[in-house]
Amino acid sequence: MSQPELSVVVLTWNNLPHTRRFVESVRAHTDVPYELIIVDNGSEPDAAAYADDAADRAVLNPENRGFAPGMNQGLEAASGEFVAFCNNDTVLPKAWASRLLETAHAHPRAAIVVPAITTASNPATVRSEPGDDIEILDPFSAPPPAVIYVMRRAVVHELGRWEEEYEIASGEDVDLCFKVWVNDCDIVYDQRVLVEHVGHATGTKLDDSQGLWARNRRRFLTKWSGTADPPRLSTCDPDRFVRNRATARAVAKWMDQYFSLRDRRTTPPARSPRTLAGRVKRKLRRI
């Protein structure tokens, strides 16, 4: 396709059965001119070979570069006006592409359009069956997870692409949503499209996934509580940008306080070696 309307970008790391199901759904149900770009992050040979064979364009990395670098590689390979950034543990329904692009065209301020999904840690866009509503999500609320993000390719570039400061995976989607909201753009939720999502099919296989999440959370909070500004879109009024940046900073500081309090409540108090030794001695006396 010399000039597709939509570039479907998917990142893979092993999990070949999920990737096969995703690709089959793309081929069967994408109803606009499109290209399929698969970025493989150092999978085992069989999964990497499938990615190379199944894609219209394949990017094969020798190692796992992480979510944001991989998605940026897919973005650079894309030629469509719109890009659908996808997880490979999804199955796309009939007419998914035409409906999400219809919503994007109908909402000029929409920087991201998301479908409903069957499962996610954030329930805001979770449904068991398709709905009828199309709604604008509240700015600086809990951002929808990056299971399927449809965006104009030019807007992603102007926003500075996916931020690569986060480790492997987690945090990049929240960061991108904050950049969208600071620029006075919308995230639009289209309930008419319901995507089957396995959830955490790749993340749970990462070493120290909880540690990665905690470190990336700290990176996000430090960054957005600070004074550095994200890129400003040419369409965003400077005064609105300043106001929205102040809102983002306040929200990040509130989030920092919330997580600090929650962590203190859920972390068991540390015991000194002397206290632990005393407990051991008491147990030994009972034997």
Write the DSSP symbol of residue 276: H
Q: Could you tell me if residue 51 is left (phi over 0), alpha (psi between -120 and 50 degrees) or otherwise beta?
A: alpha
- CATH of 6-216, picked from 3.40.50.620, 3.90.550.10, 3.40.50.12780, 3.40.1160.10, is 3.90.550.10
Q: With cut-offs at 50, 70 and 90, classify the pLDDT of residue 276.
A: very low
273 pLDDT more than 50: no
Q: What is this structure's pTM?
A: 0.88
- What is the mean predicted confidence (pLDDT) over 137-146? 94
pLDDT of residue 167: 85
Q: With cut-offs at 50, 70 and 90, classify the pLDDT of residue 137.
A: very high
Average pLDDT, the chain: 90
Calpha distance 141→177 (Å, rounded): 10
Q: Where are the alpha helices (DSSP H) in the chain?
A: 16-29, 45-54, 67-77, 96-106, 153-158, 172-182, 209-225, 238-266, 273-286
- What is the mean predicted confidence (pLDDT) over 33-50? 97
186 pLDDT more than 80: yes
- Which tens digits make up the pLDDT trace of 65-78? 999 999 999 999 99
pLDDT of residue 191: 98
Q: With cut-offs at 50, 70 and 90, classify the pLDDT of residue 49.
A: very high
With beta carbons less than 8 A apart as the criterion, state whether 8 and 56 touch.
no
pLDDT of residue 233: 98
From residue 285, alpha-carbon distances to 230, 271, 280, 281 in Å are 62, 21, 9, 6
Percent of the chain past pLDDT 90, that is, above it, reads 79
- Which tens digits make up the pLDDT trace of 93-129? 999 999 999 999 999 999 999 999 999 988 989 999 9
pLDDT of residue 203: 53
- Which tens digits make up the pLDDT trace of 240-264? 999 999 999 999 999 999 888 877 7
